[in-house]
Structure 1
Amino acid sequence: MTRSIRRTRVLKPGVAAAAALLALSACSSSSDDSSSAGSGTSEAAAPKLSGTVTVFAAASLKESFTTLGKQFEQQHPGTKVTFNFGGSDSLAASITSGAPADVFAAASTKTMAIVTDKEDAAGTPVTFVRNQLEIATAPGNPDKVSSLKDLTGPGLKVVLCDRTVPCGAAAQKVLDASHLKLTPVSYEQDVKSALTKVELKEVDAALVYKTDVKAAAGRVQGVEFPESAEAVNDYPITLLKNAPNATAAKAFVELVTSAEGHKVLTGDGFLKP
């Protein structure tokens, strides 16, 4: 009877180590290739932004949006953000008349409704901040204004925003709630124009937003008044339906509504929604 003998090949220690090293290297290379392929797929899924983003925004957003526009351009080389700041009502009218714009940020839901009612918004506008009125006087408050009622005093020259713009509508709302009648020397088309009258000392006081007093950086003095809580404005923002650069515009809206955007806006005195 013949007995079959199974032979097992035994590698010498040095040869075994070399074989193990080669196997490990092959696995590592395969893993790296897979990782690289996954990374390339991720980058391909996020297209590079370029071109101009045109933003129509309420005048009170000028400082904050200018800062955010520069941040956006730095984050996305090859893009440029241009702004049209003004009264929300006139901006809305321009948009519904066909003015080319990518984004609209209004100082009230009422003025945003001008755009949404015409179905010119792409989706539902989002409230990203709020704002509250404050009395602006000359530095040092020479007329000793300490309350809303003081603005009705004889001889005091006061300016208000036009009632058709959000700051003017808010001012009228607090005056009505306080049963006060105020006759201004003029009605201005946006809040920056009202503030400028105080800065130039053409008037003694104006009802503007807290953010505008802060932005004036010492050129005016702010006087808070409790009645301002009766008219806090919500600020909505939306991508527009016929946006010429919708992809980049959407990214700008995302920046404004992000934690990074809120940090800039609240730093300028806006309230969280």
Structure 2
Amino acid sequence: MKRILVAVFILSSGGLSLAQELTVFAASSLTEAFSDIARAFEAQHDGVKVLLNFDGSSTLALQISQGAPADVFASANETQMDKLLEEGLAEAAKIFARNQLVIISSEDSSLDSVDDLAQKGLLLVLASPEVPVGNYAREALQKLNEVYGADFAERVLANLVSQEPNVRQVTAKVELGEADAAIVYTTDAAVNSHIKVIEIPPDSNVLASYPVAVLKESKQPTLAQAFVDFVLSEEGQTMLVARGFQTGEQP
């Protein structure tokens, strides 16, 4: 009897498909798109659970550098990915998406144009400069000097009242009425219908490139590569475009 029970247990244990967990660190601006992609990936891979960790790219890169366990990293800029590549913590990266910037304000705001950002007394919020969207925003402001005057960026930044660790917290400040305006990604503005969007002229805008890579310390390298391949696939790219991203192809 004991032998039969042991045999049954071994056979049943061998037949169990314990969930394979894949940990993906991704920039906050990818929250909706990567949630869609993760669900589709799980549906195509029985027994796989994708664990998503969203935050500012610089925060995530630092966590990975400090030993946080992760299998895939998707950054909102190449700078943070390059740091991990230099440290030998990531495999070769590929650009999978692109994004641009817009100005957002509350629905009842009097803000109507880009040059209104320099109004005295305006409450402006940006991401911290080490965060990709914060760096991109400051780059765009410098470009806007050519349109609105050499001191435009300086006058706008004089209105800065808060610097946030990721783009979602920047957007939340405007949504909650704690700031009059912010510069965020097009994709983040699209998530909320209760804000006003002001376009930045194409010549002054910044095209953000998003790289993705398998991490060297991944415990599931084959599965991690499969996830990256899915992100780069036609299906994955379609999901990204549906959330407002541009494809990773060179413009």
Q: Same fold (TM over 0.5)?
A: yes
Cα distance in 1 for residues equivalent to 2:75 and 2:58: 8
Match 1:158 to one of 97, 109, 124: 124
How many residues are paired up? 222
Equivalent in the alignment of 1:110? 79
1:219 Cα deviation from its structure 2 partner: 2.4
Equivalent in the alignment of 2:100? 132
Structure number with bigger Rg: 1
Deviations 1:131-175 (A, max 9, x none): 101011112x5213211x211111211101100000000011111
Equivalent in the alignment of 2:10? none
Match 1:145 to one of 84, 109, 112: 112
Deviations 1:102-149 (A, max 9, x none): 000000011111111101112x1000011101011112x5213211x2
Q: Is the 8 A contact 2:143 2:204 kept in 1?
A: no
Cα distance in 2 for residues equivalent to 1:114 and 1:49: 34
Equivalent in the alignment of 2:137? 171
Equivalent in the alignment of 1:190? 166
Matching of residue 72 in structure 1 with residue 48 in structure 2? no
Q: What secondary structure sits across from 1:63 in the alignment?
A: helix
Cα distance in 1 for residues equivalent to 2:64 and 2:216: 10
Q: Is the 8 A contact 2:105 2:197 kept in 1?
A: yes
Matching of residue 60 in structure 1 with residue 26 in structure 2? no
Amino acid at match of 2:167: V
1:178 Cα deviation from its structure 2 partner: 2.1
Whose relative contact order is higher, 1 or 2, with alpha carbons under 8 Å and at least 6 apart? 2
* TM-score, structure 1 as length reference: 0.78
Cα distance in 2 for residues equivalent to 1:62 and 1:100: 19
Alignment of 1:79-98 (within 5 A): 79-98=48-67
Equivalent in the alignment of 1:201? 177
1:50 Cα deviation from its structure 2 partner: 5.2
Cα distance in 1 for residues equivalent to 2:18 and 2:141: 47
Change (3 A) 1:229 1:257: farther
Q: Is the 8 A contact 1:129 1:270 kept in 2?
A: yes
Cα distance in 1 for residues equivalent to 2:184 and 2:221: 33
Q: Is the 8 A contact 2:96 2:210 kept in 1?
A: yes
Q: Is the 8 A contact 1:132 1:229 kept in 2?
A: no
Q: What secondary structure sits across from 2:223 in the alignment?
A: helix
Equivalent in the alignment of 1:17? none
Deviates more, 1:49-58 or 1:198-207: 49-58
Q: What secondary structure sits across from 2:126 in the alignment?
A: strand
Deviations 1:199-240 (A, max 9, x none): 111111110000000112x12221111157542110000000
Match 1:268 to one of 233, 237, 243: 243
Change (3 A) 1:160 1:228: farther
Q: Is the 8 A contact 1:49 1:248 kept in 2?
A: no
Match 1:258 to one of 196, 208, 233: 233
Amino acid at match of 2:106: A
Q: CA RMSD in A?
A: 1.6
Q: Percent identity?
A: 40
Q: Is the 8 A contact 1:162 1:168 kept in 2?
A: yes
* TM-score, structure 2 as length reference: 0.85
Cα distance in 1 for residues equivalent to 2:214 and 2:106: 38
Equivalent in the alignment of 2:149? none
Q: What secondary structure sits across from 2:41 in the alignment?
A: helix
Q: Is the 8 A contact 1:132 1:228 kept in 2?
A: no
